[in-house]
Amino acid sequence: MEGDHGKMLPPSPGTFVDREELIQHVGDFAVSQGYVVTIKQSKRDRVVVLGCDRGGVYRNRRKSADESSAECTRRRKTGTRLTNCPFEAVGKKDDGLWVLTIKNGTHNHEPIKDISEHPSARRFTEREILIIKEMTEAGLKPRQILKRLRQSNPDLLSTPKHVYNVKAKLRQGNMTVRNFKSLGPQKSAVRNNYLAVTKPSWRQRNPPRVPNLIGGRFVDSQSFTSIDVLNPATQRVVSQVPITTIEEFKAAVFAAKRAFPLWQNTPIVTRQRIMFKFQELIHRDIDKLARIITAEHGKTLKDAYGDVLRGLEEVEHACGLATLQIGEFVSNVSNGTDSYSIREPLGVCAGICPFDFPAMIPLWMFPISVTCGNTFILKPSEKDPGAAVMLAELAVEAGLPNGVLNIVHGTNDIVNAICDDDDIKAVSFVGPNAAGAYVYARASTKGKRIQSNVGAKNHAVVMPDASVEATLNALVAAGFGAAGQKCMALSTVVFVGGLNPWEDKLVEHAKAIKVNEGTESDADLGPVISKQAKEQICRLVQTGVDTGAKLVLDGRNIVVPGYEHGNFIGPTILSNVTINMECYKEEFFGPVLLCMRAESIEEAINVVNRNKYGNGASIFTTSGVAARKFQTEIEVGQVGINVPISVPLPFSSFTSCKPSFAGDLNLDGKAGIQFYTRGKTVTQQWKDLPGSNDASLAMASS
């Protein structure tokens, strides 16, 4: 008997953002084990005690006669007394979060064979009661209400009579209808309907405070520390980013870990359908996404739309992931033995994002990861988190279950926590070189998979026979687009044979670029992300001038009318740059183009290969021989021939080499799928073995 009771395990302790999530966690796990929990005691803002709603066992009880009173001498009848189940879980509020502990994890009864037979299976959740109230006020009848509720929760067992009873109590002003927290996984649509009833606190602030996403809920952080997100063109505070507490981070990881078992067993076609809906919603809200990117990052609306659309390609790629995860099967590898390979998700994965592509980089990471069956922790850049949060809202609206995608904000402490947490199995990082090296070293020592995409110094080699106008247009677009704030921006041009006649024409094309605030219709180039970034760019330009470079176009002192406080830098060109100059060695991340000369293609290739960064390089030429030599001998991850930025589409991996990338598997394509999954080989034998009492110690063979 005791052994049977032991089969019912208690839920795992953890940290939750609110009381309801804690109750739901305990309730969902209890159902999976064959028991039902109920609230035994509750002080709503401080503590909740949960017990088992199973009656327990009856035991015989006989009270002995009172021998001291002769007149009362008699034997009492044999009776019974109900012994309650000893299971008890306690949730307490501590520093704004709810902590679950298991006081007694044992039971004194058998598991419930059919959970639907338990009375609690027909109770409504608090959120469903709120929805019933709304629909009642709208004039809907019980059958209509029940039909709507079942669209969001097909497992709902309640009848129209139960809806009528709830309506009657609501008419009496009784909102404390007895309920049980979610016998099945809570559906996103129900949650969204509930959120529509009450406006979250983080939206009520002015400026708004960016929320965390933990366990399917967008919640304001308990942290008192926050960072202002400034519009780079106006210095206006767009929003505030909280420095997420470590307790909140642990709650996010716990939510992701809790969601993983059910999500990994969700059919791949179901996960794909969510991605189909997700890409539809991104198309619907692309204008909002582009505007928040421009407001926080500063790039022009045209560049912001491109940011979203390149990320959208990744979501579209995830919609067809099933065929890319197909394994291999070998029949009859031995006598009656088959062998096949499959790919399985890792568990909880995490992504750390930079500021340069607020939409594209998050979409490089979590759509592929979650469609592979993982759950995900995303840390957007603290400089422009708005697009990532908006994408998360759309993912939840698309039907992504609670806990599959979580968002935490912060700086160094959260990065360290991601690297150190044992429950996080893989980390994707895109960002500066020093930070990338640190993340790679710290995460890899914890045994995590890590892909770290860092600094870039992308080169273009221009041959004397290159098409002049097409080459100049490409150089200007790649060098100054998005104010040079992108990992594949073109920062250095090596002119084979000399700078003439290229230099004057390059300056002429650069001067035609219109510098303005990103939402202005004539804007070609917006501000850089921050005043600190502008100061660093100006400093590097000045070091180039001080060490012998020629400043042929200076955009450092540009002033945009109406936006005098903006972080604007106009197109800037330095020529006669050498490989020993600091401005060449360091990454600019700004609208600055460095011009060098080489006597031959061999010298130009050597210049590129000696640089410490290895993201990409391009050649502009009409010679197939020169192009073939370049693509063969150049040592970078991305090679362009008559194209300036050779970033591939999602079905081809984003490949980098040398210090620009650390790790074994790149983003995108098959490599990205392999990064977020592990291989497993299964060998099976189905045959009638001849009867024998002798065990063979020989290696199996055909």
DSSP H or E run through 288: helix 286-297
User: The tokens 């709830």 sit on which residue?
Assistant: 166
Cα pseudo-dihedral 694, 697, 701, 702, rounded to 10: -10
With left for phi above 0 and alpha for psi between -120 and 50, is residue 148 left, alpha or beta?
A: alpha
- Reading the block at residue 185, the tokens are 């996984």
Sign of CA dihedral 440, 443, 447, 452: negative
Residue whose C-alpha is closest to residue 620's, from 404, 487, 460, 425: 460
- Reading the block at residue 642, the tokens are 């008559």
Contact present, 490 and 460 (Cβ < 8 Å): yes
- Alpha-carbon distance 425 to 414, whole Å? 16
Tell me the backbone φ, ψ of residue 173, rounded to 5 degrees: 85, 15
Secondary structure string (H, E, C) spanning 390-424: HHHHHHHHHCCCCCCEEECCCCHHHHHHHHHCCCE
Contact present, 349 and 379 (Cβ < 8 Å): no
Helix (H, G, I), strand (E, B) or coil at 248: helix
Contact present, 211 and 218 (Cβ < 8 Å): yes
Contact present, 574 and 537 (Cβ < 8 Å): no
DSSP assignment of 689-701 equals PPP-SPPP-SPP-
- Alpha-carbon distance 113 to 107, whole Å? 15
Q: Residues in the chain, how many?
A: 702
Contacts of 631-637 with C-beta under 8 Å, sequence gap 24+, read 633/605, 633/609, 634/605, 634/608, 634/609, 635/608, 635/609, 636/608, 637/661, 637/666
- Reading the block at residue 698, the tokens are 């020989």
Helix (H, G, I), strand (E, B) or coil at 184: coil
Cα angle 282, 288, 293; round to 5: 100
Amino acid at residue number 215: G
- Alpha-carbon distance 342 to 270, whole Å? 19
Secondary structure string (H, E, C) spanning 504-525: HHHHHHHHCCCECCCCCCCCCE
- Alpha-carbon distance 212 to 242, whole Å? 8
Q: State yes or no: is 657 an active-site residue.
A: no
- Reading the block at residue 536, the tokens are 């660093």
- Alpha-carbon distance 655 to 17, whole Å? 39
Cβ-based neighbours of 28, under 8 Å, separated by 6 or more: 182, 183, 184, 185
Kindly name the residue from 52, 353, 487, 583 that is annotated as catalytic: 487
Cα angle 682, 683, 684; round to 5: 115
Residue whose C-alpha is closest to residue 513's, from 456, 583, 593: 593
Cβ-based neighbours of 138, under 8 Å, separated by 6 or more: none
- Alpha-carbon distance 303 to 53, whole Å? 57
Residues involved in catalysis: 487
